[in-house]
Structure 1
Amino acid sequence: MKLTLIRFVLFWGTLLLTYSSKAVPLKTTTDPCYAGCLAQKYTGTVFDNTNSPVAGALVKVAGTDISAKTDQNGVFTIEANAGATIIISKAGFKDKEYVLGENNSFSIALDYEYMLVPLKSPQPVQLLYSTVPQRLNVSSADAVYNNDLMKSPVTTFGNALAGRMAGLNLFQLSGQPGADGASFNLRGQSPVIIVDGVVTGLTQYDLEEIESVTVLKDASALAMLGVSGSAGAILVTTKKGIEGKQQVSLTVQTATQQPLGYPKALNAYDYARLHNEALRNDGIDSANSGLYYSQTALDAYQNHTDPYSYPDVNYWKEITKNSSMLNRYTLSTRGGSKFARYFVSVEHVNQSGFFKTVDSNSYNTNNNFRSYVIRSNVDVNITRKLTGGIYLLGRIQNANEPGATTSAILSSLLLTPANAYPILNQNGSLGGSQIYQNNIWAQTVATGYRQTYKRDVLVNVYLKRTLDELLPGLWTKAKVAYYGSLSESIIRSKSFAVFQKNGSSYSQFGTNGTQGNSNGIDYMGRVDYEEFSLGYDKTFNDNGINAIVLVNRYNTSNGYDLPYTITGMSGRVAYNYKGRYMVEGSWGYNGSNRYPTNGSTKRGFFPAIGLGWNIDQEAFMANVPFVSSLKLYGSYGKTGWDKPGYFVYYPRFYDGPGYYFGTSAGGVTTITEGTLANPNITFEKASKLNIGLSGDVLKKQLAFKVEYYRNKNYDIVMQRGQNSTMLGNDYPDENIGKNLYSGWEGQLTWQHTDKKWQYYIAANISTIQSKVLYADEVDRPYDWMKRTGRHVGQSFGYLAEGLYQSADELNTHATTVGYKPQLGDIKYKDMNADGVIDQNDQTAIGTSKPLLFYGISFGVSWKGFDISAVLQGVRNIQAYMAGSYYWAFPSNGLGQAWSENLGRWTPANAAGATYPRLSYGTNINNQAISSYWMRNDNFVRLKNAEIGYSLPGSLIRKIRLQTVRVFANGYNLLTWARADFKDRDPESFSGGYPVQRLVNFGLNIKF
């Protein structure tokens, strides 16, 4: 079935490509129409990407000597036959072809030959089910377009958005091939991902097929989503066909990847001496313990005199490469006629991981990733009033990793000290011991392999008909979509044995060569979506009305779960007077099948209203010539978020263990009650307020936007904190929580466009302040212990006051329950001054300042050269550094130690210590949750930079090419962070797969 679908897509795209390329031939003097058709007068306006008129452009009728030039306002008049092709040319711009039709008045936009697409463009705003001109939009929405997305050599579009949009913050926690996507944070929430109107969650596919990515943030933009709108939405709009000559684009790219940072483990000598120090600190007697390293061992570790008996192994370097590769090949074509338009693209990505491999294996053990993506979007004018389209996406993703799994190998790196074993013994066998049987090299190359196969198919079909015969401006549309996803694995793993040298012999641990073979389905899901809408769009005199009402059904099935279905209806009505005053109302009424069928909570109504005022249209602004546009807008409304659980309104009882009574009595099966049911469970809600001011000044060179938002989330699903053990069960999930999110967002752009060079610089800044309004927390005796009133996700623990530095401090400070502190231990604040450090002294730790994130981007183009860059920054963010990736000697003293542990407290280093005294294994005082382990995680990153050169059009047109551009770009190029992260990356610091730096080279040819 999968192959059949792919063949269908290829056939359909090829057929339309062939048909459409023949459907728009250039008119020549041999065209019969020139002998017998009547010429018509056409008036056109030519403007550039910034909506400014282009004067002096040559307009020529193809195949004839008929021509004209544009005046100072970019206007030209020419006589030609309907169906003729005109060619508009102007130095510094790309030639543009246009087929004359029934409209005798039209506008044409020229693209600069060497132009970076301006950030401020006249493109309409993409909303959920319609598009709105920017000047008439009253919603909070921002977009990033294809040219900016393509500057980042990444495999998921989310990674390309970092630093480019106000209100949207992204964290990339991993660089693992195929799993390196960033997490989205939109005004404190995780938004839904919608591709061409269908909720799919897809983020990883061909960036070249994306026309734009739009972020919707306020109630006016989100109300129509109903119970799916509170978290915001990210709309992905893919490229569609265009009427005109066929365009073909080929892009070839190759990138080098390098890990940005990883926890730096101590060498064997430092590990051993710190190990001994930790034992002494804990009072473990060296005379009665075999845990201490002898002076002979310390000398051998330091001098490397016996690498087999006293190994010193940097396991990270042994199993990983300094760099890996990412190759990408993209081929797309676009075009069509007035009857059919198409866009077809094919992409292949081959990304290798950083594990080393050996030639002796006949199979690959690296963590590689390959993907194949095909996109076919076709729109057809079936009749004069009926149009239709079919949008197809096929995606194949193949991943490979060692049989031990990538995560297990990285976990072993965190827990295995440098002196645990040699990679290979003197006789060539795998090193190890009874304690450390996890030879990391063997895990990487000698445990077989695992392969994962993912298949995704997205089919989106629509029919749209105008109903002008009933009412001019009326239309109707029907849409059906299907998304299917399948992930399956093949596991061919094998075991290995390790050997430890004991004098002249070796002791074996583990079994060598046992192979396991298995396969199974990891995930299987499908989504079907149906929509029927009725719309009206009409302008009469000074009044403009745009309205839409629709009913839809979203149904998804995951694995063996029962389907989850959202059904309902929604609508939007927008009115503007003279384009000066705007008012719109939108609403959603829907719900899901995870609620009682006869309950009052099954459906919800979510209304919103938006207002806008184009101040620049007022008469009193006529004397303010430097203001091109100035708009005040705002919205308020209610949105929903569906979090019903899996039919939690049903009481549940489970079979329990069997009990036997007497010597011959039968078994009795017990029944256990599940979590209490809640028949009143309903969806979460949010009231959203958004107020904004935007404008363009100084001949549209300076653009700005500032917004304030206040979102109150209520009916949040949570369990009551004031539980009682007398109940004998857990309380159910209930809609009782309340949180508040608020903040400011600002954007500023300066751009200049000339005939030969252009530049822009843009900045955005956003804040997120959150507050817990109600959480039904347990009774706490002191205000500093309470969660209510703190920001959402606030960490709680002890407030550290440094380290104990003297015996006087030990004797006079409050005592710690269950522990007797020593010099160099962490000293905690006695919040209630009762002389005891206990749970009543726990308080909020970490900053309470609002999260602030920002981005700065700039670009310059001149005579074919273009340079651009994006900086991403975050402030008021903290990381809790604790666990096996930071603490010394975890896992009962057998674990790793790190470079940060060298700053531990000692009598000689008391004043400058950055780490408590060392302990062997767990220290309940020093490893308690406290502010001591909080680190400032502010950072600034050069997220993306690109330099390119486009060959002159006069040269490449001779070989029938439209564009030839060579470029080099990079991702995660430079990072400025606090000294605490000198060996680590501020986004990925806990020992997982490190974030990668990419340096990419590419070639793009359009013809």
Structure 2
Amino acid sequence: MKKLHVHDSHAPDGTLKTKLIRMMKIMTALMWLGLMSAYAGSNAQIRMNIDLTGGNLPELFQKIQKQSNYLIVYNDEVMKLNKEKEINLKLQDKTVDEILRTALRGTNLTHLVSGRQILILTKERLAKMQDTLLTIRGRVFDTHEPPAALPGVSIRVKGTMRGTTTDADGYFTIQAKKDEVLAFSMVSYTGFEHTVVKADRSLNVSLKENVSALNEVVVVGLNEQQKKHIASSLSTLNVKSNIEGKPITTLSQSLQGGVTGINVTQGSGLPGGDAATIKIRGISTLGNSNPLVLVDGIPMDMNHIDPVTVESVTVLKDAAAAASYGSRGANGVIVVTTKRGVAGKMSIIYDGYYGVQQATALPQTVDAPTYMRMYNEASFNNNPTNTLPFTQEQIDNTRNGMDPIANPALAFANTNWLDMLIDDAAPISSNSLSLSGGSNVARFALTGNYTSQKGIIPLSNMRRYNIRANTTISLSEKFQVNLDFLAIRRNTQQPNRPSASGNSGNRILEDMYRVPPTIVPKYPEKGGRLFYGQYLDVVNPLAYAEAGGTRSLEAGQTSINLQPKWEIMKGLNFRGQFSFRLNSDVNRDVRENFNHFDYYTGNLLRTWALQRANTMGRTTYYYVGSTLDYTLSKNNHRIFALAGYSQEETNSGAFEVFSMVSAYAKLNYSYKDRYLLEGTVRTDGSSRFGPGKKFGVFPSVALGWNLHNENFLSESKVINNFKLRASYGKLGNDNIGLYRYQTLINNGSGVETTYGNPDITWESVNMLDIGIDLGLFKNNKVEFTFDFYDKRTNDIILTPELPMVGGFESEVPVNAGVVSNKGWEASINYNEKIGEKFSLSFRPGVTYNKNEVLQLQGRSIVTATTITQVGSAVNSVYGYRSNGLLQQNDFDANGQPRIPVLPNSRPGDIRYVDLNGDNVIGAEDQGWIGNGVPELTYFANLRLAYGGFDLEALFQGVGKSDATLFGMFAQPLDFSADGGVPTTYYADNYWTPQRTDARFPRLSVAPANNKVSSDFWFQNGAYVRVKFLQLGYNFRAALARKLGVEGVRAYLNAQNPFTFTSVKITDPESRGYQWTYGLVKMYTVGLNVKF
């Protein structure tokens, strides 16, 4: 049915009612025409014959429409003067445009073609329209690689009846005004809207395909697979929930509370040292058990890349999933892909945030009068005959605020070092600008980022510059090349007083807990000299902050990644990769010469010498590899086969060169999308092993059964997805030191310092995994995943001691250890949409892992505080078991103990348990006492959205573990070591004859018996933490357009705002010593703008 014209002959001309009725009728007609146009064919080049004698324009229009699918629209007002014009035409093989031009010659009318619609209007009206209408030509693609043109895409100007569809090659032409919105839509694709600007003449657009959860494509390492064809165990991080629009400084932080089966622990919040430690399914070896991390196929530290550039994160957890990486995948694999450009209009996106940081746990110390009293008490407890360090007069004068500089013998300072030096609003900011776009010939994604973070301690900061350029070039329909470039520069700085723990803290923080509050921070300047209060060799933390200098690290990384792909024939692809990465770093220690003088006498006390120390490092990495893959789908069978070869080399200088050569093959088979089979075999040759031991073979197999595709479940309205999985495989680990198979000799003595073992070979990991995936209700409203795994590492490399009489100065490496990790993991994903505006998602997950040593060579591995022994977890806690504190009734009237105690024990000391019953507390009573690694971890992610608002929360926690209190937090005032100022919590909870149920022992300046490792210092390390709370708002499109942009999102974020735990003094996650820079709370405001 075709509408020729719209008219109104009942209302008087010129009235408002007439105009309104006419407008309504025209809009109704155009709406109908717009709907009809979706079904019309392409007629731009159709030619026809016209034979009309004595006719008029409406009759001509009727003839045109009968011979084509064009729809001609006009109204009576336009035709008033031309309706009766006599038409005499006899035209052969003419286009519609040529016919109309001939027919309308000599009139005040003209025509305008928009898609399949032709509007008849006056020339005057057209002239006015042409002042505002823009003719936009373009093309629509999908987001596949290489991109394919999309025919039949509907394009309409929102709020009008103007519209068109793309032709067979994806091309379109449409007219629109500035600030009007073009809406692109197509069945099975996500719609796209574009706001017209004056510069729009050519417009390319990409539409992303809507896929179900089962058809979703997942990066599984060397290739991509649909979820429904995967039989191995892997997890994908929800990038939108855990990364996008979140103020995270390192990518590893996003995995905490995002994926089951992994233990993520952030041990520090120090700028540049706040990366989390990741263990996938437990600690697999006594050596390095960190997972392999690949960013676009290149091994690298993922914490240095800009999180904004991340497209996907996949964690490969079982042997079948990680088998493609052989020896490198023994501890699990994390595969990160970065964003690439898609064909379409260039997109410009700004993403940034600004915030402030505070410590999550910063125990306060006592004031000077309390310190003086407790110091006196500790000194008296140690030796009642000693003269007390402070007189009561000095304590009283200090409490009353007497000037300590004017009266140094009568009063002392009352300094709070934490209040003086800790910044409780340390700023942090990040700014990223991304550009992406291209065509079917070339596509690009360019992102630049600058992140700045100031620490809560003086002189600490981090600045990071990050540039990534990903380019895809289609040289032909069958051949394309990815060329990626990455450059990172990272500058970190901290006071020139680093801790023994390296990046996790700084001794200036320790000094705040060590230097007494009685020390004057800084005296008035005198004679052009600066004077700082002195405390032993430490001086004081303010002196280090102002005159102690800095330790800085300038780290750079550049990489280039070339990946060609050639479709040799349908289903057969060749892929190559050449990667080069250069890491360089410079450490600088800088301090000016500074003389410390006594304020009162002017005597020189000590000199901080001028320091200029540089150390440099450089590491190069090369990778060359290629794969050939073939996909065949025929009837009910689907086969994917892959074979590949690679070689790589890492050179860190100083003769530290490591190389590996590998070959691998993989086969995936699916029958009716019901029965799945995965098989992988890989062989690796490693230079870390000697002749005859370099190569290892690592096979794996996985089976899957999609029960929901069986006839007995295919009609179920409840079960949408039901898959059973099982896998078993073997992986290798060569992550040991270099040249362990060779014997090294001391140049000076000629003694063999490192005794090599030419028979040393691969550690091997055998893993069994059984899993279930369940999706319920429409669109998998409820998803449930459960996995049980049994992971056993054999031939772990140990270094038992050799007898000195044999002439050996070191240990010999042997393959002798066995470690087991057994556990399970479960997650639920619930999504609900209520009405048009409200949506809810809830994603909880829980992981349990039991770690146990099954075999060692010889005796247990023991340090002062840890033990690795058969039957216990790796690096368990070693020491004495305790039974509270000794009380007065544990001693007789003469002070002699009635129970076994350590020598010189007194009431208030720790009461140790005589485990072997020999009535003596000794080394034989020490052993395994606990485990500092939690066996249970869990998280829950909640998101609520209403209209443009959304509220997100992430809860994360761990089960019971033994969190040990160390150092000055456990033993303040210990002047046999480094001293230390008691915390206020300690001051209220130490043992006295009047407070016998205390948490801490009696005070002592030499607490030798209480310093040994024991479970007395354990706290229950369980906690629940709100990792972040975020409130966001997406500005309405109309408002965004008024601001001159396509989209705006703003958010408020609180990171680590609340923690629920019984742990005192330290943060329950970072734990540590007095120098440990714990986690920080962070409060930020963020903005995302799309131009």
- Compute the TM-score of the two structures, normalised by the length of structure 1: 0.84
Comparing both chains, which one has the higher relative contact order based on Cα–Cα distances under 8 Å and sequence gaps of 6 or more?
A: 1
Q: How does 1:1-150 map to 2 (within 5 A)?
A: 35-36=44-45, 59-60=154-155, 80-85=167-172, 97=184, 107-110=188-191, 123-148=216-241, 149-150=243-244
- 2:506 pairs with 382, 400, 407, which one? 407
1:382 Cα deviation (Å)? 0.6
Secondary structure at 1:277 match in 2: helix
- C-alpha change, 1:86 and 1:352, in structure 2 (3 Å) is farther
Q: Which amino acid aligns with 1:951?
A: F
1:401 Cα deviation (Å)? 3.4
1:404 Cα deviation (Å)? 4.6
Q: Counterpart in 2 of 1:692?
A: 771
Q: Distance in 1 between matches of 2:315 and 2:708?
A: 26
1:546 Cα deviation (Å)? 0.9
Secondary structure at 2:870 match in 1: coil
Secondary structure at 1:582 match in 2: strand
Q: Which amino acid aligns with 2:859?
A: V
- C-alpha change, 1:144 and 1:341, in structure 2 (3 Å) is same
Q: Which amino acid aligns with 2:740?
A: V
Q: For residues 515-537 of structure 1, what are the alpha-carbon distances to aligned partners after superposition, in whole Å with 9 as ceiling and x for unaligned?
A: 3334341x211111111111111
Check whether the contact 2:754–2:812 (CA below 8 A) recurs between aligned residues.
Answer: yes
Q: Counterpart in 2 of 1:22?
A: none
Q: Counterpart in 1 of 2:910?
A: 826
Q: Counterpart in 1 of 2:614?
A: 519
1:326 equivalenced with 2:428 (yes/no): yes
1:506 Cα deviation (Å)? 4.4
1:785 Cα deviation (Å)? 9.8
Q: Counterpart in 1 of 2:644?
A: 550
Q: Which amino acid aligns with 1:758?
A: S
Alignment gaps of 5+ in structure 2? 1-36, 48-67, 71-114, 116-139, 143-151, 175-180, 195-209, 284-289, 499-504
Q: Counterpart in 2 of 1:424?
A: 523
Q: For residues 749-805 of structure 1, what are the alpha-carbon distances to aligned partners after superposition, in whole Å with 9 as ceiling and x for unaligned?
A: 11113532211011000011011101124289xxx9992111222212111011111
Q: Which stretch of structure 1 is more off in the superposition, 607-616 or 690-699?
A: 690-699
Q: How does 1:235-254 map to 2 (within 5 A)?
A: 235-254=335-354
Check whether the contact 1:216–1:233 (CA below 8 A) recurs between aligned residues.
Answer: yes
Secondary structure at 2:512 match in 1: helix
Q: How does 1:664-743 map to 2 (within 5 A)?
A: 670-699=749-778, 700-720=780-800, 724=803, 726-729=805-808, 730-743=810-823
1:62 Cα deviation (Å)? 7.8
Secondary structure at 2:522 match in 1: coil
Secondary structure at 2:1008 match in 1: coil
Q: Distance in 2 between matches of 1:40 and 1:272?
A: 98
Q: Counterpart in 1 of 2:96?
A: none
1:613 equivalenced with 2:705 (yes/no): yes
1:930 Cα deviation (Å)? 0.8
Check whether the contact 1:791–1:848 (CA below 8 A) recurs between aligned residues.
Answer: no
Q: Counterpart in 2 of 1:351?
A: 453
Q: How does 1:528-677 map to 2 (within 5 A)?
A: 528-596=622-690, 598-599=691-692, 601-656=693-748, 670-677=749-756
- C-alpha change, 1:432 and 1:325, in structure 2 (3 Å) is same
Check whether the contact 1:196–1:237 (CA below 8 A) recurs between aligned residues.
Answer: yes
Q: How does 1:194-209 map to 2 (within 5 A)?
A: 194-209=294-309
1:746 equivalenced with 2:826 (yes/no): yes
Q: Which amino acid aligns with 1:987?
A: S
- C-alpha change, 1:653 and 1:490, in structure 2 (3 Å) is closer
1:305 equivalenced with 2:386 (yes/no): no
Q: For residues 597-638 of structure 1, what are the alpha-carbon distances to aligned partners after superposition, in whole Å with 9 as ceiling and x for unaligned?
A: x32x11000000001000101111135321111111111000
1:990 equivalenced with 2:1088 (yes/no): no
1:842 equivalenced with 2:926 (yes/no): yes
Secondary structure at 2:256 match in 1: coil
Check whether the contact 2:358–2:426 (CA below 8 A) recurs between aligned residues.
Answer: yes
Q: Distance in 1 between matches of 2:182 and 2:327?
A: 48
**Which of the pair has more CA radius of gyration?**
2
Q: Distance in 1 between matches of 2:280 and 2:701?
A: 21
Q: Distance in 1 between matches of 2:954 and 2:211?
A: 15
- C-alpha change, 1:479 and 1:569, in structure 2 (3 Å) is same
Secondary structure at 1:457 match in 2: strand
Q: Which amino acid aligns with 1:367?
A: S
Q: How does 1:462-541 map to 2 (within 5 A)?
A: 462-468=563-569, 472-501=570-599, 505-511=601-607, 515-521=610-616, 523-541=617-635
- 2:900 pairs with 815, 826, 832, which one? 815
1:499 Cα deviation (Å)? 4.0
- C-alpha change, 1:451 and 1:845, in structure 2 (3 Å) is closer
Q: Distance in 1 between matches of 2:933 and 2:753?
A: 41
1:875 Cα deviation (Å)? 1.0
Q: Counterpart in 1 of 2:836?
A: 755
Q: Which amino acid aligns with 1:246?
A: M
Q: Which amino acid aligns with 1:757?
A: F
- C-alpha change, 1:553 and 1:229, in structure 2 (3 Å) is same
Q: Counterpart in 2 of 1:971?
A: 1055
- 1:184 pairs with 253, 270, 278, which one? 278
- C-alpha change, 1:586 and 1:823, in structure 2 (3 Å) is same
Q: Which stretch of structure 1 is more off in the superposition, 228-237 or 429-438?
A: 429-438
Q: Distance in 2 between matches of 1:893 and 1:525?
A: 40
Q: Which amino acid aligns with 2:606?
A: G
- C-alpha change, 1:422 and 1:396, in structure 2 (3 Å) is closer
Q: Distance in 2 between matches of 1:426 and 1:218?
A: 66
Q: Counterpart in 1 of 2:149?
A: none
Check whether the contact 1:824–1:916 (CA below 8 A) recurs between aligned residues.
Answer: yes
- C-alpha change, 1:906 and 1:582, in structure 2 (3 Å) is closer
1:891 Cα deviation (Å)? 4.5
Q: Which amino acid aligns with 2:262?
A: L
Alignment gaps of 5+ in structure 1? 1-27, 48-56, 69-77, 88-93, 101-105, 357-365, 657-669
Q: Counterpart in 2 of 1:455?
A: 556
Check whether the contact 1:62–1:84 (CA below 8 A) recurs between aligned residues.
Answer: no
Check whether the contact 1:409–1:440 (CA below 8 A) recurs between aligned residues.
Answer: yes
Q: Counterpart in 1 of 2:147?
A: none
Q: Distance in 1 between matches of 2:871 and 2:664?
A: 35
- C-alpha change, 1:752 and 1:802, in structure 2 (3 Å) is same
Secondary structure at 2:506 match in 1: helix
Identity %: 26
- C-alpha change, 1:743 and 1:85, in structure 2 (3 Å) is farther
Q: Distance in 2 between matches of 1:382 and 1:185?
A: 42
- C-alpha change, 1:95 and 1:538, in structure 2 (3 Å) is farther
Q: Counterpart in 2 of 1:152?
A: 246
Check whether the contact 1:146–1:207 (CA below 8 A) recurs between aligned residues.
Answer: no
- C-alpha change, 1:932 and 1:575, in structure 2 (3 Å) is same
Q: Distance in 1 between matches of 2:1085 and 2:933?
A: 41
- Compute the TM-score of the two structures, normalised by the length of structure 2: 0.78
Q: Which amino acid aligns with 1:915?
A: F
- 2:997 pairs with 904, 912, 916, which one? 912
Q: Which stretch of structure 1 is more off in the superposition, 930-939 or 945-954?
A: 945-954
Check whether the contact 2:235–2:314 (CA below 8 A) recurs between aligned residues.
Answer: yes
Q: For residues 38-67 of structure 1, what are the alpha-carbon distances to aligned partners after superposition, in whole Å with 9 as ceiling and x for unaligned?
A: 99999xx999xxxxxxxxx99336899786
Secondary structure at 2:523 match in 1: coil
Check whether the contact 1:40–1:80 (CA below 8 A) recurs between aligned residues.
Answer: no
Check whether the contact 1:887–1:901 (CA below 8 A) recurs between aligned residues.
Answer: no
Q: Counterpart in 2 of 1:666?
A: none
Check whether the contact 1:425–1:431 (CA below 8 A) recurs between aligned residues.
Answer: no
- C-alpha change, 1:276 and 1:485, in structure 2 (3 Å) is same
- 1:774 pairs with 834, 852, 855, which one? 855
